[in-house]
Amino acid sequence: MGAGAMSENFTHRLSLRLLETAGWAKSCSRAIRRITVGLAAVIALGHMPNAAHAQVSAPQAGQAAKPAGPPWSSRCSAAARGGPLECQMEQRAVVTETGRLLILLTIRVPAETRKPVLAIQAPNSIYLPAGVTIDIDGDQKAKLEFQMCDGNGCYAAAPIADDLKQAMFKGLKMNVAFQNLNKREFKVPMSLSSFTDVYNSIQ
């Protein structure tokens, strides 16, 4: 074989090798892009809230509730600078075994009316038609209907009548009762200690 033929054959083989290398590089590039997109999707899914995990379920049999810190806390804020203050006070009860929120009581005093409104957040997985009932040391019973639910729980609210408010001033505890999906009642006692002082501070 002459030198020219050998050179041409070598150049042909080199060109084929370069083409193979280029094809391999493209395949790697496509694979890397697929891996990158896949990782991005996994990361995005990892940061998306999972509604099933976010739900707060009703307590199981044998689980107890406890107050989360001091009985009542309060805060005030205004919708606009220099505007009237709207204040509220709240108390939380958590499941002793897990520390998760069980009941959230909120008493809000709207700036427009200055009439107190009681709001209750209860767990998911409850029997909604039963609503939520409250009493003060076994008396002054009242029922609130659930108005909506989301991933954090179910919500009921109603204005506080004067006789109920007076009972709360004098009482020791407010019992909050609801039913789970098996229609078993759970009663959670919420302390009324320091209620009068905190309420007067936001009124």
Q: Give per-residue pLDDT as tens, 42-86.
A: 332 233 233 223 344 455 544 555 555 578 999 998 888 878 888
Q: Are residues 78 and 143 in the same domain?
A: yes
Q: Are residues 82 and 176 in the same domain?
A: yes
Is 58 inside a domain boundary? no
In a domain, 60, yes or no: no
Decide if 56 is inside a domain: no
β-partners of residue 37 are: none
Q: Are residues 128 and 198 in the same domain?
A: yes
Q: Are 31 and 76 part of one and the same domain?
A: no
* 26 shares a domain with 78: no
What is the pLDDT, as a whole number, of residue 99? 85
Residue partners of 80: CB distance under 8 A and separation at least 6: none
Assess whether 134 and 186 both reside in one domain: yes
Looking at the structure, tell me whether residues 33 and 132 fall in a common domain: no
Establish if 57 belongs to a structural domain.
no
What domain range is 3 assigned to? 1-48
The predicted pLDDT at position 182 comes to 94
Of the candidates 185, 173, 179, 128, which has an alpha carbon nearest to the alpha carbon of residue 155? 128
Q: What is the pLDDT of residue 98?
A: 85
Same domain, 91 and 37: no
Whether residue 53 is contained in a domain is answered as no
CA distance 53 to 200: 39
Domain membership flag for residue 54: no
Residues of the chain falling short of pLDDT 50? 3-7, 10-12, 14-22, 24-57, 61-62
- Whether residue 80 sits in one domain with residue 43: no
**Together in a domain, 73 and 44:** no
Is the full-model pTM beyond 0.75? no
CA atoms of 84 and 114, how far apart (whole Å): 11
Identify whether residues 3 and 85 lie together within a single domain: no
Structurally, how many domains does the chain consist of?
Answer: 2
pLDDT of residue 84: 84
pLDDT value at position 26? 46
Please state, in angstroms and rounded to a whole number, the distance separating the CA atoms of residues 133 and 75: 26
On whether both 140 and 172 belong to a single domain, the answer is: yes
